[in-house]
Amino acid sequence: MEIILVTGGMGFIGSNFIRYIVENDKDFRIINVDKLTYAGNPENLKDMMKGDHLQFYKVDICDYNAISTIIKKEKVEYIVNFAAESHVDRSIENPDIFIQTNVIGTQTLLNAAKKSEIKKFLQISTDEVYGSLGFEDPPFTETSNLAPNSPYSASKAAADLLVRSYYKTFNLPINITRCSNNYGPYQFPEKLIPLMINNALNDKELPVYGKGINIRDWIHVYDHSSAILKVLLEGKIGEIYNIGGNSESTNIDLVKRLLKILKKPENLIKFVKDRPGHDLRYAIDFNKIRNELNWEPKVNLEQGLEETINWYKNNQEWMNNVIDKEYLTYYEKHYKNR
């Protein structure tokens, strides 16, 4: 049995990753460490908690003593670090917590990992560390320059460089994955797709930043999870792997697609003030993971969006529970001046 410490496992991608490995391979024991911020929701794994294959600790990744104790006590072999502040808009409004969790938190984990005999430390990073592309530029490769434009992406780039340095200096066995925009079940409704689905289901305005011409590459969280497990078990030590969904779309086209599937009118769309420093385009060249690890995304965007919409339609109680007072205050303040 392999013993994996997952950080941030109560969040969107972390919980989907845990679900993916529990459903696909029973021979893992998963230790889930999460601080339970506004984005961490124990409901996301409620149906998974039976049996001893999954253990949860409410712990901050910045707490060195707690993390070291868990690694020792649970005889952890692999660490997958999802824990992060993950929303660009929040990083513009309050960068400090992004530096604390994403940079100091990652370094704390690295220090704890260095003191133990782990097989691998996998850092879950993002394509946003590469900055922004023009419409005609070729997609980012693993050797593209790091040129982050938001406090969020800058904190993730800083963490990537720390992870790299612990490999070069201390021989810590590491990988870094850099993935494009995820969508799927259990995503907090501050991010584009669940926000738009939820607003449309409730006949509320859909706030599209600027002219809606910014492009993102979309990947289903199921495909991201399968790529992470591949890299964890088969990735060459020290390497970075880009993960992409092969599905570029402008925001406006994506929002119109959602409205069409939902059978809601386009006049719900409201163009609002643009995000400061808004990256124009992300696109990912994932030939490395395709050729070296034989991985490809399987979910096509149309089918993935339909399934995702159905999931949110069938889980409105989940949505109502995560939209708490803190979130409503944030949302109101955030959109007031747009």
CB 108 within 8 A of CB 63: yes
Q: Which of residues 106-165 bind ligand NAD (CB under 6 A)?
A: 124, 126, 156
The answer to whether residue 220 forms part of the interface with ligand TYD (CB under 6 A) is no
34 binds, among ligand TYD, ligand NAD, none (CB under 5 to 8 A by kind): ligand NAD
Other beta carbons within 10 angstroms of residue 327's beta carbon come to 15
Q: Which residues pair with 7 in a beta bridge?
A: 33, 81
The answer to whether residue 295 forms part of the interface with ligand NAD (CB under 6 A) is no
d(C-alpha 295, C-alpha 190), whole Å: 30
CB 172 within 8 A of CB 114: yes
Residue 265 CB, nearest approach to ligand NAD (Å): 28
Among 85, 128, 160, 223, the active-site one is: 128
The answer to whether residue 182 forms part of the interface with ligand NAD (CB under 6 A) is yes
The answer to whether residue 84 forms part of the interface with ligand TYD (CB under 6 A) is no
Q: Which residues pair with 254 in a beta bridge?
A: none
177 binds, among ligand NAD, ligand TYD, none (CB under 5 to 8 A by kind): none
Instruction: Print the binding letters for residues 44-73 with ligand NAD: x by CB under 6 A, - otherwise.
Output: ----------------xxx-----------
Confirm whether 127 is a catalytic residue: yes
Q: CB under 8 Å to 253, separation ≥6 — which residues? A: none
In the 8-state DSSP scheme, what is residue 140?
A: B
Strands 215-220 and 248-250, by their bridges, are antiparallel
Q: Amino acid identity, residue 148?
A: P
Q: Which residues pair with 232 in a beta bridge?
A: none
Confirm whether 152 is a catalytic residue: yes
**The one among 64, 209, 311, 331 contacting ligand TYD by CB under 6 A:** 209
CB 182 within 8 A of CB 224: yes
Residue 263 CB, nearest approach to ligand NAD (Å): 26
d(C-alpha 90, C-alpha 85), whole Å: 9
Size of the site for ligand TYD (CB under 6 A): 12
Q: Which is nearer to ligand NAD, 69 or 268 (CB)?
A: 69
Q: Which of residues 178-207 bind ligand TYD (CB under 6 A)?
A: 181, 191-192, 195, 207
Catalytic residues: 127-128, 152
